[in-house]
Amino acid sequence: MKELAGLTEKQKERRQAFLDWDLSGLPETIGTFHRKRIDRQEGRIYYAFGYEDEETGWEARVLFDEETMDYMVKFYLRMYTITEIELIHGDFDGFRRDVERLLPTAITREFLQRDRVSVLVKGRAFTQWDYAEVLPPSYDGYRLLISPDRPLLGLNGSYIIAEYENREKNTGILFFYNMYRDEYYGELRDRGIPGIVHEYDARTVEELEKKIRLHLKKDLDKLGTGPLER
């Protein structure tokens, strides 16, 4: 991490602009998310402030990326990161106006109203899936943080329909449904490192359920202990 004391003059000016931002134009809380100052430089990225849900550890961070020279907002779900496309800006003043106007709505839509899915997936199998038997609320230190009845819209038309996470081990499994390809798939997170697997690839929720019954507990047991056998 680059210490704030070692910032260049440009970085200091940028940091000060963020520190001078009067946050009274933004609510202190948005549902379960609470506003906080971050004020941290990590490599090329300066994190100014954001909102955090303490229960899940999920955050919305307002930042500047020196590689792209963009101001932006990213949603950090610990095992998955989403860039809010509507809140990427090359101009600080324009960015500030957009954040104050759009960020509360974006957090509400992305995190708090997850039962309101796109019309493109309403009525699809996973939204009506009776998943309780195959996806228990917890298993051996893992918690089901995202469930099919409250999915989260990710990237490129993919919904995260289920996620198991062990916060202490920084490991877990995510299950996706892509509404454009009409297919299901899974991804692993092994001590923070993503891994694409194909054992959960499925065309129907019935096929996905069979594969979850076959592989889920075995994969969760293996995560964090060494390379998964395939």
pLDDT tens column, 20-58: 999 999 999 999 999 999 999 999 999 999 999 999 999
Q: Which pLDDT score is estimated for 128?
A: 85
Above 50 in pLDDT, residue 230? no
Residues forming beta bridges with residue 230, ordered by sequence position = none
Buried b (16+ CB within 10 A) or exposed e, 71-99: bbbbbbbbbbebebeebbbeeeeebbebb
Q: Rounded to whole angstroms, how far apart are CA atoms 79 and 50?
A: 18
Model confidence pLDDT, tens digit, residues 7-16:
899 999 999 9
Tell me the mean pLDDT in the region 208-219. Answer: 96
Q: The pTM is what?
A: 0.88
Question: pLDDT tens for residues 81-107?
Answer: 999 999 999 999 999 999 999 999 999
User: Could you write out the DSSP letters of every residue in 142-210?
Assistant: EEEEEBTTB-EE-STTEEEEEEEEETTTTEEEEEEEETTTTEEEEEEEETTEEEEEEEEEESSHHHHHH
Q: Say if residue 227's pLDDT is above 60.
A: no
* Residue 56 three-state SS: coil
Quickly list DSSP for 104-157: HHHHIIIII-TT---TTTTT-GGGG---TTTS-SEETTEEEEEBTTB-EE-STT
Among 101, 107, 95, which Cα is nearest to 34's? 107
pLDDT confidence of residue 45: 96
Would you place residue 195 in the very low, low, confident or very high pLDDT band (cuts 50, 70, 90)?
confident
| Band (198; pLDDT cuts 50, 70, 90) | very high
